[in-house]
Amino acid sequence: MDNPIRLNWLDPRDPDQPFPPAHLAMRDPNGLLAIGGDLSAERLIRAYSQGIFPWFNPDEPILWWCPDPRAVLVPRECHVSHSLAKRLRQGRFAVTFDHAFRRVMAYCAAPRAGSRGTWLSPAMQDAYAALHARGTAHSVEVWVQGELAGGLYGVALGRAFFGESMFSMAPDMSKIALVMLARQLDAWGFALIDCQIASRHLESLGARAIPRRGFLAQLRAARQAPPRNGPWRFDIDVSRGREHLPW
């Protein structure tokens, strides 16, 4: 049998239960590895440290994934198009770290065009907010005229950042969030941004698909670095556009 069903059940009463090895993930659907468990901070951190992430609809049990190939963006290789570079030079926006984590998640959870619902349930939002309170999950906010216009959030372990979701209320705002994140992570010596699944949007910014084995090897090396816990603040110059902040 080319793709045997070998999903592991995770006991929600046992947050210390190990995940199965990533190479046991299914080929179709690509990367499905385990089912069940809970969204405790301990289990989430253990999952991300092994390149595993949760993704499921609110009416489904918790599903855990580790796809092959994996979309990865090396921070220093973040690509800025001519049109995006022009928008960056205009500076008609302000960028912050960890100022509106819950609001960023709420915007990411809003239904998208052509979709009737969201995978980012209240339980998921609470779980990542708990990681944020620990200084492990972070948000990037882009402000225009005092309003939140775009952003993203994710999880940081060692020198690896795991991007979870992003949103735009105006053209290019999520791209600006990712570019500024990449520039700061490069300055901090981060090795990779995990983008999970490739998309045209991410590929336009320099993300590329690599074999899961290579991704996991890079992740093991990146995790050896000391953690940079939050709240985060930009060290690179993002002073332009401060008049667009709501405070």
Q: Is 219 a member of any domain?
A: yes
* Shared domain check, 81 and 33: no
Query: pLDDT 10s per residue in the chain (247 long)?
Result: 445 556 799 999 998 899 999 999 999 999 999 999 999 999 999 999 999 999 999 889 999 999 999 999 999 999 999 999 999 999 999 999 999 999 999 999 998 664 444 679 999 999 999 999 999 999 999 999 999 999 999 999 999 999 999 999 999 999 999 999 999 999 999 999 999 999 998 999 999 999 999 999 999 999 999 999 989 999 999 878 888 898 8
Is residue 168 located within the same domain as residue 79?
yes
- Which domain-ending residue is among 25, 51, 68? 68
The answer as to whether 133 is a domain residue is yes
Pairing assessment for the beta strands 8-10 and 32-36 based on DSSP bridges: parallel
Given this model, what pLDDT does residue 113 score?
A: 61
Beta bridge partners of 151: 141, 167
Residues 34 and 135 in one domain: no
Model confidence, pTM: 0.94
Give yes or no: residues 37 and 90 share one domain.
no
Co-location of 173 and 214 in the same domain: yes
| Calpha distance 56→120 (Å, rounded) | 8
Same domain, 129 and 148: yes
> Does residue 230 sit in the same domain as residue 214?
yes
Residues 111 and 34 grouped into a single domain: no
Domain-embedded: residue 37:
yes
172 is in which domain, residue-wise? 71-244
Domain tally, the chain: 2
The answer to whether residue 2 is domain-embedded is: no
Q: Are residues 46 and 131 in the same domain?
A: no
pLDDT for res 5 = 56
From residue 157, how far is each of 4, 19, 97 by CA, in Å? 32, 18, 17
Kindly give the interhelix angle for 101-109 and 122-133, rounded to the nearest 10 degrees: 160
Q: Does residue 220 sit within a domain? A: yes
On whether the CB atoms of residues 93 and 215 are closer than 8 A, the answer is no
Q: Are 36 and 122 members of one domain?
A: no
From 206, 100, 217, select the one nearest 151 (Cα to Cα). 100
CATH code for the domain of 179: 3.40.630.70
Residues 107 and 206 in one domain: yes
In a domain, 1, yes or no: no
Q: Which of 19, 51, 68 is the last residue of a domain?
A: 68
Which of 47, 68, 89 is the last residue before a domain boundary? 68
Q: DSSP per residue over the chain, as a string?
A: --S---PEEEPTT-TTPPPPPGGGS-TTTTTEEEEE----HHHHHHHHHTT-EE---TTS--EEE--SSEEEE-GGG----HHHHHHHHHT-SEEEESSSHHHHHHHHHSPPTT-S--S--HHHHHHHHHHHHTT-EEEEEEEETTEEEEEEEEEEETTEEEEEEEEESSTTHHHHHHHHHHHHHHHTT--EEEEES--HHHHTTT-EEE-HHHHHHHHHHHTTSPP--SS----S---TTGGGS--
The whole-number pLDDT of residue 9 equals 94
219 and 51 Cβ atoms separated by less than 8 Å: yes
- Which CATH number goes with the domain that contains 35? 3.30.70.3550
The reply to whether 205 falls in a domain is yes
Residue 3 falls inside a structural domain: no
My answer on whether 50 and 160 are in the same domain is no
